[in-house]
Chain A
Amino acid sequence: MVLGKKGVYLAGLALHLFLIITVSSRDSFWLLSKSRTIFPESSKNFWQRAEQIASTALGQRLSASNPARQILTGYLHLSGIEAGYGFFAPNIPNSYKLVFELRFPDGRVEYELPRVSNAASVLRVAGLLDQIGRTRSEAFRQTMVKMLADAVWREHADATMIRAIFGSVILPSAAEFAHGKRESYEFLYAYDFNVSEKSTDQSTP
C-alpha cells in the first residue's frame, strides 16, 4: 500500500475517533450535569459548559438546515456513533409504567398495558417509556401517550374513554426489600382520551 493511501485512511480514522470521543464526552458531561455523582453539586455548571463545548464541536450549535451539520449528523447516524456509552451510568434510574384504564358503555372498567408479542419487544417498549418519562417536553409526552392509547383503542373499539396513567416505579433497596418493602408506583401524569369528543385532559400530581 502506498503511503498516500495510508495517510488518507489515517486521516479518516482520526476524524472518526475524534467524533466518537466527542460524542461520548458530550453524553458523559450531560450525565454528570444531570445526575448525582461523586462530584459536588457545584460542579454541575462546569459539566454543563463542557457539554456545550462538545456539542459545538459536533456542529450542534449550527442551524438545523446548515449543510455541515446535516452531513456531520448524518455520518454519526450512519456509522452508529451518534450516542455515547453511559449505559446504566452513573446510577440506575427508576423505570416507568403506563397503564390504560378503559371505560366501556356498560360501566365495565378494564386495565391494559402497552402490548407487544415477545420479551425482545418488551425491552423496546420499556425504552420508549423511559423516553416519555425523561422528556421535559409536555407536548412530546402527550403525543406519545396518545399514540400508545390509540394502539390500545384499536383493540377495544367499544371503549368510550381511556385514561392513561403514567407513573414511576420506585425500587426498594436490598435492605428495604429484606424488611418487606416491595416496588411501588409514583403517579406522575394522567391523560383522559374521550372517544366522542376526541379531547385530551391532563392531570398531574
Chain B
Amino acid sequence: MKTLSAWRERLIDFFFPAESDTWLAVLRIGLSLQVVLYALSLRDDWNYLLAGTGHGLISRNLGEAILSLESHLIPRLGWFVALGTQVDLREETVLSVAWICLFAVGCSLLLGVACRFSAILAWSLHLCAAKSGGFVSYGVDNFMTIGLFYLMLSPLPDRYSLDWRLRKSRAKDPQWSRRAPGDMDGRALRPSERERASQLLGFWRRVLQLHLCLIYFFSGLTKCLGSGWWDGSNMWRALIRPPFNIINPEILAGWKYLFPAAGVFICVLESGYPFFVWNNKTRRPWLICICVMHVGIGLTMGMYLFALIMIILNVAAFGPGLIRTEHARISLRPQEVIS
C-alpha cells in the first residue's frame, strides 16, 4: 500500500512539477512570430490557395467536402464564407478578413495582449486555413496546430506579456498575484493559488515535452527502418529532390562522403531524443543538436517555417531549464567570493 502511494506521489510529481512560466513565454512569443511569418508567407497566395470553385488553384469546396466525410466538427473557412454571404460579403472579402485577423492575432499574441483570446483565435483561424486548404498543407501546419492547441489551453498570460503587466499594475494587493516558485521574490504569497498555478504550468510543459518525445521517436524509428538513411542515399535524395533542391547538386556531390554519417546521426538523434533529452547531462547537447539539425533543414532545403516551428517547440519544451541552470551557476559566484 505504501509502495502504491509512493508511486502515485512520484507520478504526480512528474506530471505536475512546480514550474515557472518562462517556457510559456517562449512558446507564446515563438508561436506568435510563427503565425505572423506564416500569414506573411501566404499573403500573395492566400485567396488563390483557399478560394472556392472558379477562382483558385484548386477548389476549397472539394477539400471541405472531403473534410466533412471525415468529421463535421472540423473547423473550416467555409463556415465563415457561409456566414459572410448572409450579410452580402463576397468570398474574397471574407478570406481577406480572415488573413487580416490571423496576422493581427499573431501581432497581439506577440505583444501579449488578450493572450487567451488571441491564442484561441490564432488556433482556430490557422486550423480553418490548414483544414480548408488541406490539399496544400504540409508538416508545418500540423506542428503549428499542435503548438497553438497547447498554447491555448496553457495558463496564460505569462509574466512577459502586456496582459500580465496591465493586470499587475491594476491589482490593488500585489501579494495575491500569481507567481511561480521560480519567480518568487520573498513576498508572502497565497500558497495554494501559487502552487496550483505553477503545477498547471508544469503539467502543460510536460504534455508538450512528452508529445515532442513521441514525435521524434516515431520519426527516428521509421527512418531507422529504411536502408537509405544508413548509407546516406536518403540525405542525398532529400537535398536534390525538387522543390528542396536549393543547393547546387554539383556542390552536394563533393560532400557525398559525409552523407552516410549525417544520415546515421539524424537517425540516432531523433530516435534517441526521448531517452537522452530527459537526462540533465545529455539534455543540452541533444537539444542543441536537434536545433542545429532543424536550422540545417531550413537552410539547405528551404523549409524555413518548418525549421522555425520545430525550434520553437523544442526550446519552449526543454530550453528554459537549461537557461535557468546557467543563471543559478552565475548567481553563486558572488557568494563564493564573500565566503
Contacts and interface: CB of A to CB of B under 8 A. Distances in A.
Contacts of A117: 44-45, 48
A90 B228 contact: yes
A144 B58 contact: yes
Given A6-B16, A95-B242, A120-B42, A73 B210 contact: no
A70 B232 CA distance: 42
Name, among B57, B127, B199, the residue most crowded by chain A CB atoms within 10 Å (CB to CB). B57
A194 interface: no
B219 A86 contact: yes
A16 B127 CA distance: 18
Nearest to B266: A88
Interface in B205-240: 206-207, 210-211, 214-216, 218-219, 221-223, 225-229, 232-234, 236-238, 240
B240 A124 contact: no
Contacts of A36: 226-227
Interface string A65-88: 000011101100111110111111
B15 A79 contact: no
Given A28-B218, A80-B146, A116 B48 contact: yes
Given A77-B131, A80-B145, A70 B73 contact: yes
B141 to A, nearest CB: 8
Interface string A15-26: 011001100110
Interface stretch (A48-56, A100-108, A157-165, A169-177): A169-177
Nearest to A76: B71
A174 B236 contact: yes
A84 B210 CA distance: 15
B45 A118 contact: yes
B83 interface: no
A188 B310 CA distance: 35
Interface residues of B, number: 78
A18 to B, nearest CB: 11
B145 to A, nearest CB: 3
A85 B41 CA distance: 24
Contacts of B227: 36-38, 90-91
Contacts of A17: 210-211, 214
Contact of B253 (A70, A120, A177): A177
A94 to B, nearest CB: 8
A90 B222 contact: yes
Contacts of A92: 228, 234, 237-238, 241
Name, among A1, A32, A80, A84, the residue most crowded by chain B CB atoms within 10 Å (CB to CB). A80
Interface size, A (range): 35 or more
A122 interface: yes
Contacts of B200: 1
A70 B74 CA distance: 9
Interface stretch (B86-94, B132-140, B167-175): B132-140
A87 B219 contact: yes
B135 A77 contact: no
A127 B241 CA distance: 12
Given A1-B199, A89-B226, A121 B73 contact: no
A195 interface: no
Nearest to A80: B145
20 contacts: A1-B199, A13-B15, A13-B210, A25-B218, A73-B71, A79-B145, A85-B216, A94-B241, A120-B304, A120-B305, A121-B41, A147-B59, A169-B241, A173-B233, A174-B232, A174-B233, A174-B236, A174-B253, A177-B240, A183-B240
Given A38-B226, A95-B243, A128-B136, 14 more contacts: A1-B200, A9-B203, A25-B218, A35-B226, A37-B225, A70-B72, A78-B75, A85-B214, A85-B216, A90-B222, A144-B135, A148-B57, A174-B259, A177-B240
Interface of B: 11-12, 15-16, 41-42, 44-45, 48-49, 54, 56-59, 62, 69-75, 127, 131, 133, 135-139, 142-146, 149, 195-196, 199-200, 203, 206-207, 210-211, 214-216, 218-219, 221-223, 225-229, 232-234, 236-238, 240-243, 249, 252-253, 256, 259, 302-305
Interface of A: 1, 3, 6, 9-10, 13, 16-17, 20-21, 24-25, 27-28, 31-32, 35-39, 64, 69-71, 73-74, 77-81, 83-92, 94-95, 97, 114, 116-128, 131, 143-144, 147-148, 150-151, 169, 171, 173-174, 177-178, 183
